[in-house]
Amino acid sequence: MADGPDAGDDTGAADGGSEGTGTGPGGSGGAGDTGRGAGRPAAAAGRSRITWQKLTLLPLFLVALLLATWLWFRQAELDAISENALSGGQVSKALWQHVELTVISTFFVLVIAIPAGILLTRRSLRRATPVAMAFANTGQATPAIGLLALLVIWLGTGMKAALIGIVIYAVLPVLSNTIAGLDANDPTLLEAARGIGMSSLGVLTRVELPLAVPLILAGVRTALVLNVGTATLATFGGGGGLGVLITTGITNQRMPVLVLGSILTVALALLVDWLASLAELLLRPRGLEDGR
């Protein structure tokens, strides 16, 4: 009978020990909750890359800028020359032409510069990189108006000459950033990818390019803003755009027309830069930010 309490105590201790160690379903569930909890901050960080300030501040500023411009125009006294320059859908036509020039030229910049940057980082073509970069630097160092004048002499007036000039002027940022992004990749990561049996194309598409995306997107963003500004010169080659309003205002000394063309160009450049910054955040690989 004396052995009863001792046995009971031993049994209780054993029960208490099993509960304390948490080896049952409850214990393993707690560990799982801890693992899931550790993963939540990383996911939240990925979702919080775009803040409400990023989404609202610049659009609100642009709305205020355009509203102030509209109110100023309502109070301004326009003569016949100014009204003729702004009537008949001239403003919307110039704005649409400017957007068209920007989008088409940026498309061709991407088609040319990104593949060229990839090729120039391959072993067989690395020796050609300095030559290609010299040509790209020459294209941007040449005054845009002079380059456009040469293209007009060669190709004639129209949107074609303007597009080629804009593309030549904007290739450098995307090309240089593509090369820099691919060259910055850790060689040990590339060797590890090859070591697990990935082909050269697989290493490029699944390792090199994803790691280079931030730098490439930064170059694309720069090229977009450059294209918006350079497209104002398309008017000198008969390419249209908001430069028509600016040159009309300067030539005829009509400040309202000049101000409208300038404000619309600035607003478009800011809008394009804002959209590119959002795309840069959305397309950036999450693993680079979450530390995975």
- Mean confidence (pLDDT) of the chain: 82
The pLDDT of 215-233, averaged and rounded, is: 95
Domain assignment of residue 81, yes or no: no
Confidence of residue 287 (pLDDT cuts 50, 70, 90): low
Q: How far is it, in rounded angstroms, from Cα 190 to Cα 193?
A: 5
Query: pLDDT (tens digit, 9 = 90+) per residue, 105-128?
Result: 999 999 999 999 999 999 889 899
In sequence order, what are the residues at sequence separation of 6 or more whose Cβ sits closer than 8 angstroms to the Cβ of residue 94? 240, 241, 242, 244, 245, 261
The pLDDT of 268-274, averaged and rounded, is: 96
Domain assignment of residue 79, yes or no: no
Q: How far is it, in rounded angstroms, from Cα 98 to Cα 110?
A: 18
Q: How many helices (H) and strands (E) does the chain have?
A: 14, 0
Give the end-to-end CA distance of the chain in Å, rounded to a whole number. 62
Confidence of residue 142 (pLDDT cuts 50, 70, 90): confident
Distances (CA, A) of 23 to 9, 12, 28, 31, 256: 21, 17, 6, 10, 79
Domain assignment of residue 206, yes or no: yes
Q: How far is it, in rounded angstroms, from Cα 228 to Cα 61?
A: 19
Range of the structural domain that residue 200 is part of:
90-286
Q: What is the dihedral of CA 148, 152, 157, 158, to 10 degrees?
A: -50
Domain assignment of residue 121, yes or no: yes
Domain assignment of residue 50, yes or no: no
Go through 16-27 and write b for each residue having 16 or more CB atoms within 10 A of its CB, e for each that does not.
Answer: eeeeeeeeeeee
**CATH number where 195 lies:** 1.10.3720.10
The pLDDT of 191-203, averaged and rounded, is: 89
| Helical spans, DSSP H, in 48-198 | 52-75, 80-86, 90-120, 129-141, 144-155, 159-183, 187-195
Q: How far is it, in rounded angstroms, from Cα 93 to Cα 241?
A: 8
Domain assignment of residue 21, yes or no: no
Which DSSP string corresponds to 159-171? HHHHHHHHHHHHH
Q: What is the pLDDT of residue 225?
A: 95
Q: Is the pLDDT of residue 18 over 50?
A: no
Domain assignment of residue 209, yes or no: yes
Total domains present in the chain: 1
At 158, give phi and psi (nearest 5°): 130, 180
Closest CA to 286 of 70, 29, 4, 39: 39
Confidence of residue 175 (pLDDT cuts 50, 70, 90): very high
In sequence order, what are the residues at sequence separation of 6 or more whose Cβ sits closer than 8 angstroms to the Cβ of residue 58? 270, 271, 274
Q: Is the pLDDT of residue 172 over 60?
A: yes
Q: What is the pLDDT of residue 38?
A: 44
Q: Is the pLDDT of residue 11 over 80?
A: no
Domain assignment of residue 2, yes or no: no
> pTM of this prediction?
0.77
Q: What is the pLDDT of residue 97?
A: 94
